[in-house]
Structure 1
Amino acid sequence: MKKILLAISLALTLVGCKTTEPLYYYGDYTKAVYSYFKADEVTLEEQINALQLILSAAEAQNKSVAPGFHAHLGMLYFETGNPTLGVQHLETEKSLFPESTQYVDFLLRSVKDA
């Protein structure tokens, strides 16, 4: 009986130790967000370029970017005067993460009212 319990315990321990891959590709996304809030360090164009590089790397590895990524990129495009790409990325955010629809619609209304 003790051997069976030991074997089950060992099996459960081994199963519990399995590592998994992250669900989303982040790259330097957190660094890019930080630089956005420290706007004096990099320009909006540099931030867009950094996010585009992260997006390209994610696509090359066939991985999804994190929730909020496309919304952030879309808002950067709006700030640089490119509403077409801004809307495109906000709509992409909604399609990838339907739970963000209310917030993204709020952002779209906000930029249209501005």
Structure 2
Amino acid sequence: MITRRLALVAALLAGALTGCAGQQAKPLYHWGVYQPQVYEYFKGDGNSHEAQIAALEEDVQKARATGETLPPGYHAHLGMLYSHAGKLDQVKQEFETEKAMYPESGSFMDFLLRNFKN
């Protein structure tokens, strides 16, 4: 009787573990081309600022379409690229978006916004 119960518990446990193994966890953020674009920016060669902006903006649209969240720093980096491209109205918008999405970046975004105004 005890061996039947142990066998039943073992079978249920094996089934539960097998059922969970096939599921993949959904990523927390939509990374897209963000990391390669940051790498290219700091490397100093490769895409122009306009090309990087276009790639990141395309990723923003993909993330919105799928309901995914962009990672921390994404909008701040996009704002910095806008500043290099001379698109000053969009710089403030991206910094404000970063601050709204990630309140822990508020002090730094406020610092950048103050310096941006000067």
Query: Which category describes the TM-score, using the shorter chain as reference length?
Result: 0.7 to 0.9
**Runs of 5+ in structure 2 lacking a partner?**
none
Instruction: Give CA-to-partner distance per residue, 1:3-58, whole Å, 9 cap, x none.
Output: 36525643563465332111111111111111111222221111111111111111
Q: Is residue 10 of structure 1 aligned with residue 9 of structure 2? A: no
Aligned in 2, Cα 1:6/1:42: closer, same or farther, shift over 3 Å?
same
Mapped partners of 1:109, 1:15: distance in 2: 53
Mapped partners of 2:11, 2:104: distance in 1: 43
Correspondence for 1:90 among 95, 98, 114: 95
Post-superposition shift, 1:110? 2.8
Instruction: Give CA-to-partner distance per residue, 1:68-108, whole Å, 9 cap, x none.
Output: 11111011111222221000011011111112111211222
What is the aligned-residue identity percentage?
A: 39
Counterpart in the other structure of 1:43: 48
Considering only aligned residues, what root-mean-square deviation do their CA atoms show, in Å?
A: 2.0
Q: Is residue 112 of structure 1 aligned with residue 102 of structure 2? A: no
Q: Greater CA radius of gyration, 1 or 2?
A: 2
Mapped partners of 2:89, 2:9: distance in 1: 62
TM-score (norm. length: structure 2): 0.80
Counterpart in the other structure of 2:39: 34
Mapped partners of 2:104, 2:19: distance in 1: 32
**Runs of 5+ in structure 1 lacking a partner?**
none
Counterpart in the other structure of 1:21: 26
Structure 2 letter corresponding to 1:47: Q
TM-score (norm. length: structure 1): 0.83
Aligned in 2, Cα 1:8/1:49: closer, same or farther, shift over 3 Å?
same
Aligned in 2, Cα 1:3/1:62: closer, same or farther, shift over 3 Å?
same
Secondary structure in structure 2 of the residue aligned to 1:73 = helix
